[in-house]
Structures are given as structure tokens and as C-alpha cells.
């Protein structure tokens, strides 16, 4: 059975959080601020824009951000 990775946002209580690709996001990573590649999906609320870093997306972000540190 396929699990949908969508849940109610705890920040605003009305929005739905689902994996979202977006350009121009910034992410603090190892004390520096880097720009997240557009292709990385981050669970984001469609109402207030709160982002939820899950283990899965965190791993994907690490893979995407690590090369930028070099
Ligand atoms: Zn929200």
C-alpha cells in the first residue's frame, strides 16, 4: 500500500503539508546558509509555507548541499 506523505500543518492548523519543489529556498547547513536546489522536495505547508525537514528530505538536502561547501 502506498503511503501519502501529506499531513496537517501544526503551525497554522489549516494548511496541508506535502513535498514541494521550490526555487530560491535557503537552508542553514553546517553554520552556513546555502541555496537549496530547486529539485529537492521539502515538505511545505500550502497555507503558511512552514517547512518540515524529515529524515528523508534531510538526507536529500545533505547530498545536495554538501558539494556546495567545497
Ligand atoms: Zn501551515
One digit per residue, the tens of pLDDT, for the chain of length 70 reads 656 678 999 999 999 999 899 888 888 888 889 888 898 888 899 999 998 877 777 888 888 889 988 7
> What are the extents of the domains in the chain?
7-69
Question: Is it true that domain 7-69 has CATH number 3.30.1490.20?
Answer: no
Decide if 17 contacts 7 (C-beta within 8 A).
Answer: yes
Give 54 Cα–ligand 1 centroid separation in angstroms. Answer: 16
Give 51 Cα–ligand 1 centroid separation in angstroms. Answer: 9
Give 3 Cα–ligand 1 centroid separation in angstroms. Answer: 21
Give 7 Cα–ligand 1 centroid separation in angstroms. Answer: 10
E-strand ranges in 1-70 read 7-8, 16-21, 26-29, 32-35, 41-45
Decide if 15 contacts 46 (C-beta within 8 A).
Answer: yes
Give 62 Cα–ligand 1 centroid separation in angstroms. Answer: 24
Alpha helices in the chain (DSSP H): 55-65
Amino acid at each position: 500500500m502506498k503511503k501519502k506523505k501529506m499531513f496537517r500543518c501544526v503551525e497554522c492548523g489549516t494548511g496541508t503539508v506535502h513535498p514541494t519543489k521550490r526555487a530560491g529556498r535557503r537552508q542553514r547547513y553546517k553554520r552556513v546558509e546555502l541555496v537549496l536546489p530547486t529539485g529537492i522536495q521539502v515538505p511545505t505547508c500550502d497555507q503558511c509555507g512552514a517547512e518540515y525537514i524529515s529524515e528523508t528530505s534531510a538526507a536529500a538536502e545533505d547530498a545536495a548541499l554538501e558539494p556546495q561547501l567545497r
